């Protein structure tokens, strides 16, 4: 089975590439390494800076953000970093995600400190120069920070997008046809609906007429899909999806089993149990009933169940 390809700020993988010669190992990556291919990238080393090295920070100037040495603003690495990110975006054309080191003026995804020419803090709404350039060139690539990945909802959302991105790349590798595009959409129906029913309807409209330029339609579809999935799925949407899916098995359940499934969905609605509880019950019945439509839905297993992501949301 091919695994999603995810690039990671190298210091998070324990590589001693930080300015002070240290690392910032993110222990959860050891869990992910069983399911993803992890590729280290250190942009500051990539532009030729040594280890250890003088620290850099972001400075706001009239013409935009610059990556400067903290103690010597004459040393400006902005152009080198942008050029490296453009090159790296080509190397990452086969990537399904990027896990970025938070707060870094190169790798940070959000809330990075931005200074003025005197070194005073101006605000904390910056994006690391590598990551901001990368996102221009790979706008649909799922990106998340290790700090935010400690939040179970954000972690689950990021990995959902990584696995959808991966399935899309596999589809592209086999060449997209009208039939394969429609099948992709159909199999992701309830996963998309968990994020937004409206997005599912709009995406369906995009595929209503596939007689035009297929590559353009597919590109537009994928852009809209990734944007929709970036909005975390709400509990009420999951409940709606679960009730729909229960409908595919309910007429073959005993009244006791039906009540038990309905009670599990209601308990999830009240946040008394995690999502995995009604999902496990649904899958248990599905394993016995073998409804082919339900079996086709990625919602029931959008990523390896052993990741345990749905036990925490």
Select 13 or 294, whichever has its Cβ closest to ligand SF4. 13
Token pair recorded at residue 134 = 């990368």
Residues 6+ apart with CB under 8 A from 68: 56, 57, 58, 59, 75, 76, 77, 78
- Shortest CB 264 distance to ligand SF4, Å: 42
Task: Name the H helices within the chain.
Answer: 28-32, 43-46, 78-91, 129-137, 152-173, 178-187, 189-195, 197-206, 214-230, 235-247, 255-269, 276-289, 292-296
Residue 69 CB-half CA count within 13 A = 9
- Shortest CB 246 distance to ligand SF4, Å: 45
Select 7 or 184, whichever has its Cβ closest to ligand SF4. 7
Q: Using omega within 30 degrees of 0 as the cis cutoff, is the peptide bond preceding 52 cis?
A: yes
Select 65 or 107, whichever has its Cβ closest to ligand SF4. 107
Q: How far apart are CA 14 and CA 28, in angstroms?
A: 12
Select 17 or 164, whichever has its Cβ closest to ligand SF4. 17
- Shortest CB 166 distance to ligand SF4, Å: 23
- Shortest CB 82 distance to ligand SF4, Å: 14
Contact footprint for ligand SF4 (CB under 6 A)? 9-11, 17-18, 42-44, 101, 104, 106-107
Select 42 or 249, whichever has its Cβ closest to ligand SF4. 42
Backbone angles phi, psi at 116, to 5 degrees: -100, -175
* Alpha-carbon radius of gyration of the chain: 22
Select 49 or 225, whichever has its Cβ closest to ligand SF4. 49
- Shortest CB 155 distance to ligand SF4, Å: 19
- Shortest CB 180 distance to ligand SF4, Å: 37
């Amino acid at each position: 089975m091919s695994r999603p390809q995810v690039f990671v700020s190298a210091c998070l993988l324990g590589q001693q590439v930080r300015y002070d010669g240290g690392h910032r190992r993110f222990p959860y990556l050891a869990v992910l390494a069983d399911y993803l291919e992890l590729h280290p990238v250190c942009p500051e080393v990539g532009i030729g800076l040594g280890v250890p090295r003088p620290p850099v920070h972001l400075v706001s100037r009239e013409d935009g953000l610059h990556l400067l040495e903290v103690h010597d603003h004459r040393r400006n690495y902005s152009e080198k970093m942008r050029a490296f990110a453009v090159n790296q975006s080509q190397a990452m054309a086969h990537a399904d995600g990027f896990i970025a080191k938070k707060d870094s003026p190169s790798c940070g995804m959000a809330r990075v400190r931005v200074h003025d020419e005197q070194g005073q803090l101006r605000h904390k709404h910056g994006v690391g120069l590598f990551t901001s350039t990368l996102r221009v060139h790979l706008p649909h690539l799922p990106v998340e920070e290790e700090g935010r990945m400690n939040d179970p909802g954000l972690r689950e959302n990021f990995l959902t997008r990584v696995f959808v991105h991966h399935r899309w790349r596999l589809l592209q590798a086999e060449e997209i046809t009208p039939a394969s595009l429609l099948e992709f959409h159909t199999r992701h129906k309830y996963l998309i609906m968990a994020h937004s029913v409206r997005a599912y309807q709009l995406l369906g409209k995009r595929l209503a007429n596939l007689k035009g330029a297929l590559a353009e339609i597919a590109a537009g579809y994928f852009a809209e899909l990734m944007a929709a999935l970036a909005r975390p799925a709400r509990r009420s949407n999951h409940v709606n999806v679960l009730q729909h899916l229960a409908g595919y098995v309910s007429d073959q359940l005993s009244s006791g089993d039906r009540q038990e499934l309905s009670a599990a969905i209601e308990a999830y609605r009240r946040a008394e149990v995690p999502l995995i509880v009604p999902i496990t019950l649904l899958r248990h019945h599905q394993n016995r009933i073998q409804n082919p439509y339900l079996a086709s839905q990625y919602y029931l297993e959008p990523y390896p169940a052993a990741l345990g992501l749905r036990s925490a949301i």
